[in-house]
Amino acid sequence: MKISKRLYSYYMVWPALLIYSLFFVLPTIIGLFYSFTDWRLDRTELHFNGWTNFKTIFSDSTLLLALKNTVIFAVVTVIGKNVIGIALAVALNMKLKTRNGLRAIFYSPSILSIMVISIVFTPMLRSDGTINKLFEAVGLGSLSQAWLTDPAIVIFTIAAVSIWQTAGFQMAIYLAGLQSISKEYYEAATIDGAGSWKSFVNITLPLLLPAININVMLTLIGGLKVFSEVFVLTGGGPGNASQVVGTIILRSFGEGSWGLGTAVNTLLFVAVTIISIPLLMFMRRKEVTE
């Protein structure tokens, strides 16, 4: 009887575990197998080719550029989304008459389709677009750039659009964390003579660590898996300047190089796992110690 009661909770987990295994674990294992084969559209038989696909990834300049762009995009968006998200959350946690309306305004881009955002931003980011004209109108014409056609800055432009879209979502998570912090901490700090900055560093940030952990992981994984923003804004161009791992996977499958595409996808999965799990464990330890 005791054994059956002990196993009861596991019975409730089995359906979800079965679905997860069927639609995630099993495809991952199959994909891992195919990444070591010469699987192509024009072939009817599979042959095991060892590390050939992975050697191709690290010897092809376009694939290396895609890996570099993915890392740049992830780093820039993690920093940008979280810094702006915290700043907005702190500002809109104050007693402002318009704070509810402002929260809705800043959060609303995160529910928009990336297709809608591309329709809005593509004309704005042209060389003769709204942003450059605005710079010229205020006497800052030297800041005008070919935002989507300059290979040196195009990945940063796409990252900026992504930050604009989802920083409000991070703000909402930080707001929930801020509202769970007791005001007594700040009252005690004020009595002790601490200013706003010291209160933020010594009270807000440590108590906001759970929300920071969540947002950093969400933005990091989302940044490494970037695809939609690049696909709709530049398609990987100009040339291959804004190619990322996601667009390389699409191109590989489109060209019929299914084994290579699967290998790139496997590499992305391994990279996300290697980076995210140790980072999560480190941040959780910091959360506990704080």
Q: What's the confidence (pLDDT) of residue 6?
A: 67
Distance from C-alpha of 54 to C-alpha of 51, rounded to nearest angstrom: 5
Domain ranges in the chain are 60-289
**Tens digit of each residue's pLDDT, the chain (290 residues):** 555 666 677 777 888 889 999 998 898 899 899 999 998 888 778 889 989 999 988 898 999 999 999 999 999 999 999 999 999 999 999 888 898 999 999 999 999 988 888 888 988 998 889 999 999 999 888 889 999 999 999 999 999 999 999 999 999 999 999 998 888 888 888 888 888 888 898 888 988 998 999 999 999 999 999 999 999 999 998 989 999 999 999 999 888 899 999 999 999 888 888 988 888 888 777 765 55
Q: What's the confidence (pLDDT) of residue 45?
A: 83
Q: What pTM did the predictor assign?
A: 0.89
Amino acid of residue 101: G
Name which CATH class applies to 60-289: mainly alpha
Query: How many Å is the Cα radius of gyration of the chain?
Result: 23
Q: Name which of 77, 228, 72, 249 is nearest 151 in CA terms.
A: 72
Angle, alpha carbons 56-32-44 (nearest 5°): 75
- Residues 6+ away with beta carbon under 8 Å from 133: none
Dig out the tokens for 32 from the structure.
Answer: 């891992």
Q: What's the confidence (pLDDT) of residue 3?
A: 56
